[in-house]
Each structure stands twice: as structure tokens, then as C-alpha cells.
């Protein structure tokens, strides 16, 4: 059975394929995504999956994903606005620069942060869900070249290096998306659905 991933983010697609290697994950032809109008990661993930289901073939299984970074000293921002924190067309570098600028004087607890990934799978039988988080802190400067988004400034709990330094293998085992993918796989198993 093929599963479609309703996302235009090639980094996420690559990660999801390596996290769920036995699921045949394709992107939808229609790469246009709905505006993210939800107030939670879950609502946005569900909206993406629904959009994907409407754009795809009937009976198709579709995954929607929404994720982001919550920073303690910023009251949980950038949160659901992580992708466009520095503006509607912001690059990863722009977003990281804004984040580091806002945290310039921040110490200790204020630099604590968490990545969140919410996966929603819509099948003909209904909706299944997997959530994953990764705790850490925001570094003082960007380091490393792997991953994407805020990875060059995110240092996971118990580590000294950023996710961009720790690399893809580390991410495959420990990231918020890895945890969400495991939870989703368990939910699919528990539901008796056959993929
Ligand atoms: P979305 O497409 O609205 O879910 O955007 C998620 C945004 O959150 C990305 O553009 C990144 O800025 C950030 N983000 C989510 N997951 C990760 C990750 O694994 N590493 C780094 N940044 C991430």
C-alpha cells in the first residue's frame, strides 16, 4: 500500500522515508498546502492531511505533519510559526538569526527549548495520530551542516553538540519526528489496519 505525504518539505520527506522504510511514501503531485490557520500542531497536521486526501486518489492513505520549536524564554514561540518566524518568505538562516537575536541576553532556563512533531494519518477507516517531542536548549551560535531549520542551534538534552553536528543517524533514532513516527506505527498496528 502506498502512503502519500502531504508536504512540500523535502527534508521532512527524506526523514520520514528513512524512519518508515517499509511504508511506500510518495509526495502528492499537488504540492500546494493549505494556509496554516490552526492553533495547534495537531490542527495544522490534520488540515494538511485532509487537503492531501482531497487532492489525491480516492481511498489513498495520506500523512500530514506539522512541527516546530517551542522556546521557554519566548513563551513557547516560534511554535506553530516556526517555518515563517522571520517573515512569510523567511529562509532557515533568517529564522535562526531572529531566534538568536531574541535570545541574545538570555541564560539558563530561558534557553530551554523543545521540538514537537505531530503526524496525522488519514485512512479510509479513519484517523490515526503520532506525537513526538525532543527536549534541549538553544546554543549561542549556529554550528554544523546536517539537518535543516533550527538544527544548527538546537542542542538536545544530554548532548553538547547541535543536531546539525550530531547528524542524520542521530536524528533517525532520537528526533521528535522519529518518536512521532514510532508512535504512529504503533497506532497503526494497534488499530488492526493493514498498510
Ligand atoms: P511546518 O512545515 O509548518 O511544519 O514547519 C516546520 C518548521 O519547524 C520548519 O520549517 C523548521 O523551521 C522547524 N522544524 C521542524 N522540524 C524541524 C527539525 O527536525 N529540525 C529543525 N527545524 C525543524
* Domains of the chain: total: 1
Q: What is the pLDDT along the chain (195 residues), one digit of tens a residue?
A: 689 999 889 999 999 999 999 999 998 765 567 777 889 999 999 999 999 998 877 778 999 999 999 999 999 999 999 999 999 999 999 999 999 999 999 999 999 999 999 999 998 878 999 999 999 999 999 999 999 999 999 999 999 999 999 999 999 999 999 999 999 999 998 887 776
What gap in Å lies between CA 40 and CA 19, rounded to an integer?
24
Q: Which structural domain, as residue segments, surrounds residue 23?
A: 2-191
The residue whose C-alpha atom lies closest to atom 9 belonging to ligand 1 is: 83
Report whether residue 69 contacts ligand 1, using a CB cutoff of 6 Å.
yes
**Which CA distances in Å does 74 have to 90, 129, 138?**
19, 28, 12
Per-residue model confidence (pLDDT) at position 87: 97
Per-residue model confidence (pLDDT) at position 28: 77
Per-residue model confidence (pLDDT) at position 60: 83
CATH of the domain at 142: 3.90.950.10
Ligand 1 midpoint to CA 115 (Å): 8
Per-residue model confidence (pLDDT) at position 162: 98
Choose the residue to mutate in 52, 83, 90 for probing ligand 1, maximizing ligand atoms within 8 Å of C-beta: 83
Q: Which atom of ligand 1 is nearest to 175's Cα?
A: 19
Q: C-alpha 32: how far from its chain's center?
A: 18
Amino acid at each position: 500500500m502506498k502512503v502519500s505525504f502531504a508536504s512540500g518539505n523535502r527534508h521532512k520527506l527524506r526523514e520520514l522515508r528513512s524512519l518508515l522504510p517499509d511504508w511506500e511514501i510518495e509526495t502528492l503531485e499537488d504540492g500546494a498546502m493549505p494556509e496554516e490557520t490552526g492553533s495547534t500542531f495537531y490542527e495544522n497536521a490534520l488540515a494538511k492531511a485532509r487537503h492531501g486526501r482531497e487532492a489525491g486518489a480516492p481511498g489513498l492513505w495520506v500523512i500530514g505533519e506539522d512541527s516546530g520549536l517551542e522556546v521557554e524564554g519566548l513563551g513557547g514561540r516560534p511554535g506553530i510559526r516556526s517555518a515563517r518566524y522571520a517573515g512569510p518568505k523567511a529562509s532557515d538562516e533568517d529564522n535562526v538569526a531572529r531566534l538568536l537575536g531574541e535570545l541574545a541576553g538570555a541564560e539558563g532556563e530561558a534557553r530551554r527549548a523543545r521540538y514537537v512533531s505531530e503526524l496525522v494519518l488519514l485512512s479510509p477507516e479513519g484517523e490515526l495520530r503520532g506525537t513526538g517531542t525532543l527536549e534541549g536548549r538553544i546554543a549561542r551560535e549556529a554550528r554544523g551542516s546536517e539537518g535543516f531549520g533550527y538544527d544548527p542551534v538546537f542542542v538536545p538534552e544530554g548532548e553538547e553538540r547541535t543536531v546539525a553536528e550530531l547528524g542524520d543517524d542521530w536524528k533517525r533514532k532520537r528526533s521528535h519526528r522519529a518518536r512521532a513516527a514510532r508512535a504512529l506505527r504503533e497506532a497503526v498496528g494497534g488499530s488492526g489496519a493493514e498498510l
